[in-house]
Structure 1
Amino acid sequence: MPKKQRREDALALLRGELVVGRATTAESTTRAAWLAWVRFAQLRFGAVPTPESDGLLFQYGTYAFTGRPMFTLDLTRQFGVNDDDGEHDHYVQVHCELRFEPEPALDAAGSFDSWFFHDSDADLDQWFAAMEKRLELVGGRGPFEIELYEELV
């Protein structure tokens, strides 16, 4: 059985996958970021053993979170965190946000989100394939910005 990673190391592990991806691929930055995130998403962490304690979220849309509208592709890993009594306390999310200049074709795509949870009966490879089809929306476009961050929710 493969070694499980520490949740506290998740953001650093994602950063490391992005560095490896940039060094080993000549593909567009968007494709390289997706492949890095897929490698990261396949890692197993010592998360709380509940069905929704380790989730993957693929979502996009045109938003103005920073005051300026931009098309955002957000690849998120969510971990459930329990308190000392073993009860759910909060979630920690690790984000890889790819931001693109707004374009009519991207704006027309609207918004989309899809979850996958490790330790469920769902097939991870099938989910990746379905999300990769959605990724065609940004095609060969390169993001003007990629931001990695962690937040408590």
Structure 2
Amino acid sequence: MTRRPPIGEAMGLLESELRAGRRALAYPDTEDAWLAFLRFGRRLFDVPDTPDADGLLLQYGTHSFDGPPTFTLDLARQFEIADSNDNYDHYVQVHCELRYRPAPALQALGSFDSWFFHGTRDDLDEWAQRLSERAAWTTIRMLKPAEIRLYQEQV
């Protein structure tokens, strides 16, 4: 049986996937980041055996959380954390947030989100295919983000 890494290793594994196959000093474009996120998303972690214990989220929209309005594509992985009695305690989210310079075409996309959860009847590759077939993906997939921010938070 293959050992599943603990959730504490998730951020480092995501960073490794983002670096994998990239030319030295090259800044990844949206497609590179998406493919790295999917490789990271295929890795199974040591999580509780509950339906929502390990989820992937793609969400985008124009927001002004910490400055002027910016179009943001957020690729996140959410893990359930259980207490000592194996009951839900909280979630940890690992984010790969891509921020883009303002552009009318991006703002026109509005906002969107889609979840995938391991341990359900859904298939990760089918979920990814459905997302990459969206008209919005044609607009953003070849863009280079102005900034990529990786972070982890408890929610």
Common fold by TM > 0.5: yes
Q: Does 1:149 align with 2:139?
A: no
Residue identity opposite 1:13 in structure 2: L
Q: Does 1:34 align with 2:40?
A: no
Q: Is the 8 A contact 2:116 2:127 kept in 1?
A: yes
Q: How much does 1:65 deviate?
A: 0.9
Q: How much does 1:66 deviate?
A: 1.3
Give the equivalent residue in structure 1 for 2:74.
74
Q: How much does 1:30 deviate?
A: 1.3
Q: How much does 1:5 deviate?
A: 1.6
Q: What do you get for the CA RMSD once the two structures are aligned?
A: 1.7
Deviation readout 1:9-50 (Å, 9 max, x if unpaired): 0000000111114239x8962111111111000000011110
Instruction: Give the TM-score, by structure 1 length.
Output: 0.93
Residue identity opposite 1:7 in structure 2: I
- The within-5 A match list for 1:29-108 is 29-108=29-108
Q: Is the 8 A contact 2:22 2:28 kept in 1?
A: no
For residues 60 and 114 of structure 2, the distance between their equivalents in structure 1, rounded to whole angstroms, comes to 10
Q: How much does 1:86 deviate?
A: 1.4
Question: Which ranges of structure 2 fall in alignment gaps of 5 or more residues?
Answer: none
SS in structure 2 opposite 1:102? coil
For residues 2 and 144 of structure 2, the distance between their equivalents in structure 1, rounded to whole angstroms, comes to 34
Instruction: Give the TM-score, by structure 2 length.
Output: 0.92
Q: Does 1:22 align with 2:51?
A: no
Deviates more, 1:78-87 or 1:1-10: 1-10
Q: Is the 8 A contact 1:76 1:96 kept in 2?
A: yes
SS in structure 2 opposite 1:136? helix
Q: Is the 8 A contact 1:28 1:140 kept in 2?
A: no
Question: Which ranges of structure 1 fall in alignment gaps of 5 or more residues?
Answer: none
Q: How much does 1:124 deviate?
A: 1.1
Q: Is the 8 A contact 1:21 1:36 kept in 2?
A: no
Q: 1:83 to 1:28 in 2, by over 3 A?
A: closer
For residues 127 and 21 of structure 1, the distance between their equivalents in structure 2, rounded to whole angstroms, comes to 24
Percent identity (aligned)? 50
Q: 1:43 to 1:131 in 2, by over 3 A?
A: same
Deviation readout 1:45-90 (Å, 9 max, x if unpaired): 0111101000000000000011211100000000000111211110
